[in-house]
A and B are shown apart, each in its own frame.
Chain A
Amino acid sequence: MKKEKHIKPPKWADDFLTWICAPRYIDEIQGDLYEGFHRRCAKRGPHRARVLFVMEVFRSISFETIDRSLIPSFTSKLMLGNYLKSGWRNFVKYKSYSLINLFGLSLGFCSALLLYLIVRYENSFDDFHKNRAQVYRVGNKFSSGGYDDRVVVPQVPLMDQEYVDIVASSRFFPQSDIMSIDQKFVRTGYTFVDPGFADIFDFKVIHGDIKRALSAPGQIVLTEKAAAGLFGDGNPMGKTVSLINEKSQYVVAAVVIDPPSNSTIQFEALVPWSSAPKWLEIDQVGNWYNTFMEAYVLIDPRTSKDDLEIKLVEFVNAHFLEDRKASWRVLLLPMEDEHFRLTGNKQTIAILAIMGSAILLISCINFANLSIAQTLRRTREIGVRRVLGSLKQQVAVQFVSESAIAFALSLFLGFSMAYFAIPFVNTFYDFNISIGLSSVKSLLFFLGGACLLLILCSTFGTATALTNVKPVNALKGIFGGAGRGESLRRVLLTVQITTSVILLAGTIVVWQQTDYMKSQDLKFSGSNVVIVDMWSELFRDSEKARQRLSTIRDELKRESAIKSVSFTSSSPGEYNENYNGFQPVDVGSSDKWVSLRQLSIGEGYFETMRIPLAMGRDFSEDIQSDSTAVILNETAMRELGWNDLNNRVLLEGGGGNVRLHVIGVVKDYFYQSLKQPIQPLIHTYSPEVKQRLAVQFRPGQVQDGLKILEKKWQQLDAFEAFNYRFVDKTFESLYKEQERLGAASSLFSAVAIVIACLGLLSIMAYSIRLRRKEVGIRKVLGATVRSVMFSLSRQYVLIAVIGFLLACPIVYFLMTAFLHDFAYRITLSPFVFIISGVVVFMLSFMVVCAIAGQAASENPVQALKEDS
């Protein structure tokens, strides 16, 4: 008990209360809080009581309890009017500086805000799934290094059965078909999923129960868009939809919202796995070989990913194929990283985030810099105010509120600019950002941060300036504080230059990398080559169309505008991961299995894509035995340890005893994004492959060729109009993500540099104005324009050099980290540093020279006459 008497509430909070509270209320509030504190000490312990005391002190502060004498200037309406007036006069007097300041800050706000929204959008992917942290995509990790995000068909359902740690699981297998209802035909994608899909993911349900819908065969879940496409405004629930090609019918059992644009998982309709075709069943032969399935699991929150992965080693040993047991491990890929894993732009997003902060920093520095400068310029006004009886605080309040008004104005301008820029940003960069009600909370956070930073900067600047001004000196026109403000400004300028160089260099690297990937020799040629979808479900009478297709191909071959035609299941840039294990039939190495990506093609594929053969021959329709022939790429040959074609035979995993003869080897060509190295690939031949038609036109005859193609298409009686795409464009679209971020970052780094130059411009202009007299005297004493310019610009040139030197190591570090992720990447060349350094240096040098030159060539008499 005795001890408790000595316990006191936190002194700082108590002092604060004594300071801020009006005398009328102090007895009641402080007394009651003390009493409450002591009682709580006894009841809940001193620690808790202290915390509560501090909270209550702050809660006690309200408009009526604050000591009014602390804020004299706010209460004096008369002076407020005067402040506004002198602030406005000052603004008008130095119009250009003030406008530069205002415009620079608005531009800074606008860019920072847009970048913030972009970064937030990219980070918001899949965050609407309640259990996102426990959702994983299942893949495989290989002991040779590397991993894959696909699994065999039976793996995940079995894992779910055997491991209690897995709460729910679902495979995800997208298909496409023509759906019809009442003579209406719509091409719609649909996806086979397990009932666990409803537990793992949270797509908002509009009608029905998605879980129940996925539990029984013969039912279908439509998205709003798919439902609208099929039924218009009518109610789709309980209606029957026919799939033309599948020849099956489904009852609509639920309708969900369209997956939002920030969802990795996209679908148009969901069909329960129990309705899946027979070849997808888990007991099918070959299903432990063929690795092409996308699958997700939801794991128990009490277990961790690493623990489960270790437990799953047992699973691999129990179920996986003999040859995979030692070298394969189950891999869980967190859903939280899925978007970044797929797009590979985590670094770019980080760069954009840094860029946003840098722009905000640069514009705040500008603003603070100019505030200091403006305050110094107005020393006389300060002097007069002080002599006439203003308190130091009052003057401070005047200047701080002036910058607060300017700040609020540019904030408003910046917001309006961003608001109008958003639609353009969205269409141009293919984002989906908005300033909506939902983002208000984080916006406030963003704003609060910006406000705080700025107010701190400008208050600090003003205060530094003020403490250096003695009223008497100020009245005499002596700038006592100029020196001190100057050094701070120099530091801030250096930071600006450094940041600009970093941003510029970063942008150059991002562009170079994208360009490098685009300009890589892809080892095939997609120019003048178009792909036309020929899926059998596209045609009203698919049997007849299939038969027609071969004839059409032969007719096309005879056209003079067309150089080469081929059927294929896929094309470079559209390749869907699909691989299988193959066993080489060699003497002595019968245990070796190699997994190869597989691609089924028709005759003439290599010719159409201009992929050269390294060895052997191409497939031919005239050779009967080619139905079991295969062609490998060079990487696959290396993997197998082969270097000739002497009776090379492969056995396909799950393919029975069919011996596949290797009849040729093609040079390595890129069929997937350059983010990863070329994978071993096997081409199988089938005259039945007719999913896509690849056509190479003769140069200059593309338009004629397309017309011929369209005419042929019309003979096929398809549901849809003629559609084609160029292979090279498709391949380039693999870098769309990369490119749009590169475009965004170059735009914003340009903005940053403009803002930095504006800052340099106004600071230079201002400080040279201060030295007008000096320049005048120098010139009168015989200095040349050149030497004056030199003496004026020397320090700024030095600042630019220092800024550049500081930036170099930072750029090197950041860019090495960025490039690390690409399999085919540029080497960081000194060119990047030189170019960005030179650009920033030249820009600032131009600004400096222009202003110094102007000052130096002025008539000295004018300057000397002026009496300040």
Chain B
Amino acid sequence: MWAEIAVSGVKLAVIAGMLLTVVPIMTWVERRGAAFIQDRLGPNRVGPWGLLQPLADAVKLLFKEDVTPAHVSKGLYFLAPAIAVFVALSTFIVIPFAKAEGIELFGVPLKGLIVAPDLNIGVLYLLALSSISVYGIVLAGWASNNKYSLLGGLRSSAQLISYELAMTLAVLGVLLASGDLRLTTVVEHQAKLWNVVPQFFGFLVFLVAAFAETNRLPFDLAEAENELVAGYHVELSSMKFAAFMMSEYINMTTISALATTLYLGGWQLPGVAMPDGWLGLVLSFAVFMAKVGFLLWLFVWVRWTLPRFRYDQLMRLGWKGLIPLALLNLLWVSVALARGWL
């Protein structure tokens, strides 16, 4: 019993530590990447290539004065960033980050680098929690008692409801093909062929919806700095603002990891059998992180390439473009499964 708890604790520490490390790295990649795309240098003064810039940012944010405006709804104003970070930090426990066959820790088999290997509703848990994440933004928008914030919060809730539907439909295709809600099974199912090949349109829908779910450009209508100032976090300062920034980057990482798991074969490489033991753990983890890294770069790449959508364009794309496409994908997967092609 205690050994199992210890193993879960170690996994939790490793994976949460990794996620929290991704945040400063991604802020650096974002700023340098933006500079690279816009043909300028970006932050390059703190540390080699500006690598220590995130550290300086963090110190700055921590020591900024924490202003609480007079007319905010106090409780909710403080609760909102907490909800955002809580959801961001609790979603990743069902994602298998690496293979761990034949490894024992404290006498307990590791069952893969995944915090909750026995939770048999894997994907459902992830979708359920990510549907909660909207509350952080909506409440921040409402509690700030500011019209720009409120508009940002309202836009965000409408956007998340619309795109969550498309995303769930796309995920259903993958679940149908692998026949289990557990992500470990989904990964093992893709040993021969990654899901992205037979379900390319499902992947496309998932990816577009992922941009909307994480409030990233071209779908960052909730903050839209040149019309809503900064949307739902206009009135948030210092660490409360940082909490939202952090949760945005953690959500990006989680959703990239989910996309990798569902469509890009997880920790597997086609035609390469991962060895058992610690070597396999390290290799498969490296493969997984390489795929996640590519998707994260895609987020940055798209953000600095495409302009923002207009609100009605966003809604039209969601309801008239993505949902029918996801349904067609589902139909195709069902037919292919029934005919035995997959």
User: Are A and B bound to each other?
Assistant: no
